[in-house]
Structure 1
Amino acid sequence: MLTPKEYLRQAYRLDQRINANIEEVKNLREMSESVSGLRYREDPIQTTRSIEAPFIRVLEKAWEIEERIADELSILYDLKEQIKDAIATVKNIDERLVLQYRYMDGMTWEAIGETLHADRTTVWRWHGRALQHFKMPKCPIELE
């Protein structure tokens, strides 16, 4: 069972994982475009050796990761909708905004303080209270 804080952090972590996968696909695509030239040798042709171009494996790996990204984006969308609805149940506006800014918008404590015109200690206090008042959804989405 997740705590409210763990539940709320899931969107940020999934977003970070998606961004890392996007970066990996970018690197794989760059790698696939830097194919070395063919080398002709006088050695006899080995029939057991794969005749598939090396960049094909790289592209297949990129496609595999892109499929995973698409699946994770769908999960992220559903998770953010569920989190947004759960945050909306917090009655105090300051507490609700702290949760919104922190977990939905990914803002730092300092940025939240500037936006709400409050010092860091006040923001942390609002955050602590918000977590106490936060009601977990009946069927929360849990990531592995």
Structure 2
Amino acid sequence: MANLEERIDDKRHKLMDKQSKITEAINSLDDDDECTIMTEKYLNGKTWEQVAEDNGYSWRTVHRIHGRALKKIKLA
């Protein structure tokens, strides 16, 4: 049982580290729309359709903004 709890704690810490890195990358973006879309998709777990609807964008526009954000994150 202790081994299982240890493995769970290890996985929890790894997930928290990944979430922290994702949050840091998103916060490095200088465009509010990019930050919002990336946050809603990757931290809040919304579908592309939900992200588009919640922000008043078409599905295509959300993907265009997402692509632009990914390029900025990749360059950083």
Q: TM over 0.5, yes or no? A: yes
Q: 1:93 aligns with which of 28, 32, 39?
A: 32
The aligned counterpart of 2:7 is 68
CA distance in structure 1 between the partners assigned to 2:74 and 2:31 by the alignment = 13
Counterpart residue identity of residue 41, structure 2: R
Q: Which runs of 4+ in 1 moved over 6 A?
A: none
Say which structure, 1 or 2, has more relative contact order (CA 8 Å, 6+ apart): 1
Aligned length: 76
User: Which residues of structure 1 form unaligned runs of 5+?
Assistant: 1-59, 138-144
More helix per residue = 2
Gapped runs of 5+ residues in structure 2? none
- In the superposition, the TM-score normalised over structure 1's length comes to 0.48
43, 54, 61: which one aligns with 1:122:
61
Q: Calculate percent identity across the aligned residue pairs.
A: 36
SS in 1 for 2:28: coil
- For the pair shown, which has the larger CA radius of gyration, 1 or 2? 1
Equivalences for residues 1-144 of structure 1 within 5 A: 60=1, 63-135=2-74
TM-score under structure 2 length normalisation: 0.84
CA RMSD of aligned residues (A): 1.8
